[in-house]
Amino acid sequence: MSVRELVVLGTASQVPTRHRNHNGYLLRWDGQGIMFDPGEGTQRQMLRAGVAAHDLDRICVTHFHGDHSLGLAGVIQRINLDQVPHPVTAHYPASGQRFFERLRYATAYRETVRLVEAPVAADGPLAVTDAYTLEAHRLSHPVESYGYRLVEPDGRRILPERLAAHGIQGPDVGRIQRDGVLNGVTLDEVSEVRRGQRFAFVMDTRLCDGVHASPRAPTCSSSSRPSSTRTSASPPTTAT
Ligand SMILES: [Zn+2]
* Alpha-carbon torsion, ordered 80, 81, 86, 88, to 10 deg: -40
| Residues designated catalytic | 67
Cα 163 to ligand 1 centroid, rounded to whole Å: 54
* Residue 204: predicted pLDDT: 64
Question: What span, in angstroms and rounded, lies between the C-alpha atoms of 49 and 228?
Answer: 20
Question: What span, in angstroms and rounded, lies between the C-alpha atoms of 152 and 138?
Answer: 21
C-alpha dist (Å) from residue 128 to 125, 134, 149, 152, 189 = 7, 6, 12, 10, 30
Per-residue pLDDT tens digits for 68-124:
999 999 999 999 999 999 999 999 999 999 999 999 999 999 999 999 999 999 999
Question: What span, in angstroms and rounded, lies between the C-alpha atoms of 212 and 88?
Answer: 34
Among candidate residues 75, 81, 74, 69, the one with its CA nearest the CA of residue 22: 69
Cα 219 to ligand 1 centroid, rounded to whole Å: 6
pTM over 0.85: no
Cα 47 to ligand 1 centroid, rounded to whole Å: 25
Per-residue pLDDT tens digits for 24-79:
999 999 999 999 999 999 999 999 999 999 999 999 999 999 999 999 999 999 99
Query: How do strand 58-60 and strand 88-93 relate by DSSP bridges?
Result: parallel
* Residue 201: predicted pLDDT: 87
Percent of the chain whose predicted confidence (pLDDT) is above 70: 84
- On the question of pLDDT at 223 being above 90, the answer is no
User: Worst-scoring range by mean pLDDT, 18-27, 142-151, 185-194, 207-216?
Assistant: 207-216
Alpha helix (H) residue ranges in the chain: 42-49, 66-69, 72-81, 97-104, 160-165, 171-179, 206-211
Cα 62 to ligand 1 centroid, rounded to whole Å: 9
Cα 204 to ligand 1 centroid, rounded to whole Å: 9
Cα 99 to ligand 1 centroid, rounded to whole Å: 14
Average pLDDT over the chain reads 86
Cα 183 to ligand 1 centroid, rounded to whole Å: 59
pLDDT band at 238; cut points 50, 70, 90: low
Sign of the alpha-carbon dihedral angle for 15, 81, 47, 97: positive
Q: Are 218 and 140 in contact (CB under 8 A)?
A: no
- On the question of pLDDT at 158 being above 90, the answer is yes
